[in-house]
Amino acid sequence: MATATAVSQPLPKPRRATTARDVTVTDPALVKRAVKAAALGNAMEWFDFGVYSYIAVTLGKVFFPSGNPTAQLLSTFGAFAAAFLVRPLGGMVFGPLGDRVGRQKVLALTMIMMAAGTFAIGLIPSYASIGVGAPLLLLAARLVQGFSTGGEYAGASTFIAEYAPDKKRGFFGSWLEFGTLAGYIGGAGLVTLMTALLSSHDLVAWGWRIPFLIAGPMGIIGLYLRMRLEETPAFAAEVEKAEAARPKVPLREMIAGQWKALLLCMGLVLVFNVTDYMLLSYMPSYLTSELKYDETHGLLVVLGVMALMMIVQPFAGALTDRIGRRPVIAAGCAGFLLLSVPALLLIRQGSLLAVGLGMGALGLLLVCFTAAMPAALPALFPTRVRYGSLSIGFNVSVSLFGGTTPLVVTALIGVTGNMMMPAYYMMAAAVIGGFAVWRMSESAGRPLPGSAPAVERR
């Protein structure tokens, strides 16, 4: 099996100080395999999110019977948000474990748990069959998913970042979010097809189970790919420096010792995930339940936007390698601050063209984050604590602000009656994200903190 090798040679005029004089020469084939395996796990995670978001109205009828459609939707998104409450716990377990036993082993474990949780949802009886036990079982499955995903994104982005050469970390990292979009399109596209082919009765009776049951085979494939991978060169070097002992890092060091980087991480993740979940998770239900937009056409518009984002994603990732992560992320924050209201006003016009233009504008702005964050976030932390600190910072921010976005915005609209709340929420997130960008350091083209420089050729 091909492996990454290290050759000892002095670095003439390094761009910044490193802890080692060795240079990691990456194997292109091995890097591509690592990217594929990491991206597939992210795709499966977001396949579930796409299914759950697009079929939220149906799930409300199955698990939360009520005469009030808004109450059903709130209950469904409440179960969706509950999974994010345990994500920090998952991050505190899987992150430090990844820094101790290795990234590859933990990513294999999270893959198994994610697939099992999603598959289990497809087997739960309806409320009509077992009563209150149905929503309780749904909540339990969502908690398993949330706990496992607590170690997924941070681990996958760390895995790719530590395998990729320094000058192409943005490009390779962008494929992680390409997997996100592919999984989301797969889940949402399947729901759209089912919505078009099945009657409302069949969808509620049995059709909604199909997308969740597909997670079983997907998990087996992802596990196979991840088990074939080797540990990252950066982690292997860290173990070697520890004299062949697994590095043991106290949880306190991952938090108190990295508090400045953690705050930056949380600010960046806040704007990234609020806008992400607003566009990909909330807007389909917003179009249907709040604007009374035709369900099938609304789903197709959002699918088209995600397809556009997939096309742009790798090019935007490569752009971050050329001009830096900070300018790209800053452009996204400025865009959401200035264009959220105009974009939502376009969407509220209701015509297919207006909705498409508004959603397309938000989607292209979101690419500024999806292309840059997988490379920018791991570069905030040194190798010794990278998986653990990133897992904690990422998941705390996602739990508090990202995953709760659909629930909070739905509730705000219900309380205030103001249909522009989604725009105001994104603008507030953009302000926080902009401050974080201002305080962060540029990492494009530079070695990861605590790691040797990584290059493609000797």
Best CA proximity match to 272, nearest among 393, 344, 370, 138: 370
What's the predicted TM-score (pTM) here? 0.83
Q: What tokens appear for 417 in the block?
A: 């009656």
Domains of the chain: residue spans and CATH: 26-450 (1.20.1250.20)
Distance of alpha carbon 310 from alpha carbon 272, whole angstroms:
16
Of the candidates 74, 88, 108, which has an alpha carbon nearest to the alpha carbon of residue 406?
Answer: 74
Q: Residue 19: is it exposed, middle or buried by C-beta count within 10 angstroms (0-12/13-18/19+)? A: middle
What is residue 441's DSSP assignment?
Answer: P
What is the reported pLDDT for 27? 77
Between CA 36 and CA 422, with CA 380 as vertex, the angle to 5 degrees is: 80
Backbone angles phi, psi at 294, to 5 degrees: -55, 125
Amino acid at 339: L
Q: What is the pLDDT of residue 42?
A: 81
Nearest Cα to 288, choosing from 65, 68, 56?
Answer: 56
> Which residue type does 275 have?
T
Tell me how far apart the alpha carbons of residues 189 and 192 are, in angstroms, rounded to a whole number.
Answer: 5
**Cα–Cα distance, 35 to 360 (Å, whole number):** 27
Count CB neighbours of 250 within 10 A: 12
In this structure, what token pair is assigned to residue 72? Answer: 């059903």
Is residue 333 within 8 Å of residue 433, measured between CB atoms? yes
- Count CB neighbours of 249 within 10 A: 17
d(CA 308, CA 83): 29
Q: Which residues of 91-124 are buried (b: 16+ CB within 10 A; e: fewer)?
A: bbbbbbbbbbbbbbebbbbbbebbbbbbbbbbeb
Residue 25: helix, strand or coil by DSSP? strand
Averaged over successive runs of 10 residues, the pLDDT of the chain (458 residues) comes to: 40 37 77 86 80 76 70 67 80 87 87 86 85 82 85 88 90 92 86 82 85 84 81 80 60 76 94 89 76 69 88 95 96 96 90 87 95 94 89 88 82 86 94 94 88 77
Q: Compute φ and ψ for 22, nearest 5 degrees.
A: -75, 155
How deeply is 412 buried, as exposed, middle or buried, from its count of CB atoms within 10 A (0-12, 13-18, 19+)? middle
Instruction: Let me know: does 37 contact 222? Beta carbons within 8 Å.
Output: yes
Structure tokens at 285: 């239900």
How far apart are the C-alpha atoms of 273 and 396, rounded to whole Å?
12
Measuring CA to CA, how many Å separate 300 from each of 34, 281, 447?
32, 14, 41
Residue 439, both tokens: 């305080």
Residue pair 157/443 in contact by the 8 Å Cβ criterion: no
Cα–Cα distance for residue pair 76/121, rounded to 1 Å:
13
Strand order in the sheet with 22-25: 5-8, 22-25, 454-455
Closest C-alpha among 424, 428, 279, 431 to residue 341: 424
Structure tokens belonging to residue 206: 């049995």
- Amino acid at position 139, single letter: L
For residue 241, give the nearest of 445, 453, 384 by alpha carbon. Answer: 384
Is the separation of the CB atoms in 423 and 341 below 8 Å? yes
Burial of 385 (0-12, 13-18, 19+ CB in 10 A): buried
Neighbours of 438 (CB within 10 A): 12
Q: What does DSSP say about strands 454-455 and 5-8: parallel, antiparallel, or unpaired?
A: unpaired
Can you give the pLDDT at residue 325? 95
